[in-house]
Structure 1
Amino acid sequence: MTIPRIGKRLIATAAAAASLGAVAVIGTASPAAASTISNGNVQVCAQGTYPVYAQFPYRGGWSTTIVNPGNCWLHYVGGNSWEPINVYGLYPNSSATFSLGTFWYDGAVSGIGIGGEGTPWQHDTYIW
C-alpha cells in the first residue's frame, strides 16, 4: 500500500508540529525548577493547619522560630556547601512533633522555600 502525496505531507507536518510542541514543553520546564528564593535565604511556611519550624543540624542544631499556620519565616542564613534542613510540624495543643522531611540546601548556589501542608495526620511539603 502506498501513501498518497498529500498524506505524506500531512504526516510530515504533524510530526514537525509534535516535535516543536515537545521542544516547547521541555524548554519551559527548566526555568520553573529554579528556586524563587534568593541565594543564601531560607523560607519556611506553615501552609497547613499546624505550626512548623526548621532545624539546621550542621549548625549545632540551631532552629527557626515556630511558624504558625498562614505565616512564613524568611531569613538570610548564608552557607557555602550542601547542608540538610530538617523540617518539623507540631501537633495541636502539644509539644510533640512529627517530621516533614529533610531537605538539602546550598546557600552559595540557591535559596530554598519549604512549606508544610495539610494536617498533622495527613501532611505533605511543597518546595520552591
Structure 2
Amino acid sequence: MRKIFSLRRSVVLAILGLLVALVLPATAASASTPGKLTLCSNGGFDSYAEFPGRGGFSTYIIPAGTCHTTNLGGSVIEQVNVHKGNGAYIGSTIYNGSVGLVIVTISGPSFYAYMP
C-alpha cells in the first residue's frame, strides 16, 4: 500500500512541476509595460533583439527557456530585428515605446509578438 501512495505522490509532483514550468514563462511574458521589451526564448534556442534605428543597439542574448525584460523607453514606433543567439536573422516586427512589446521565439525558428 505504501508503494502505491509513494508512486501517486511522485506522479502528482511531476505534474505540478510541469505546470509550474509552463506557467512561469507566460507570467513573465505578460509583465511587459510601456517603455519595456520582454523577450522570451521559447524555441529551444538562444535569441536577442536588435534595434537598427538605435545604431544597432541589441538586448543581451537570452538563453533558451528564459525571458528577460529590457527598459527601452521611447515613444515612437521603431523596427526590431529578432535573431538567434548565433546571429541568424529570424524576422522583424515593430516596437512602440508607448505600450511596450513582448516577443516570444518558437521553434521553426520563428517568433510572435504582441503588445501587453
Q: TM-score range by the shorter chain?
A: 0.5 to 0.7
Provide the aligned C-alpha RMSD in A: 1.7
Aligned to 1:59: 54
Aligned to 1:98: 88
Matched, 1:127 2:113: yes
Cα distance in 2 between the residues matched to 1:98 and 1:60: 19
1:58 aligned counterpart, secondary structure: helix
Aligned to 1:38: 33
Shift, 1:46, TM fit: 0.5
Contact conserved, 1:100 with 1:124, CA < 8 A, in 2? Answer: yes
* Structure 2, gaps ≥5 residues long: 1-29
Aligned to 2:65: 70
Matched, 1:115 2:101: no
Contact conserved, 1:100 with 1:116, CA < 8 A, in 2? Answer: no
* Structure 1, gaps ≥5 residues long: 1-35
Contact conserved, 2:91 with 2:110, CA < 8 A, in 1? Answer: no
Shift, 1:76, TM fit: 1.5
Shift, 1:105, TM fit: 1.3
Moved over 3 A (4+): none
Q: TM-score, with normalisation over the residues of structure 2?
A: 0.67
Q: Percent identity?
A: 31
Cα distance in 1 between the residues matched to 2:82 and 2:109: 12
Cα distance in 2 between the residues matched to 1:101 and 1:115: 12
Cα distance in 2 between the residues matched to 1:39 and 1:114: 14
Cα distance in 1 between the residues matched to 2:91 and 2:77: 16
What count of residue pairs does the alignment treat as equivalent? 85
Cα distance in 1 between the residues matched to 2:103 and 2:73: 16
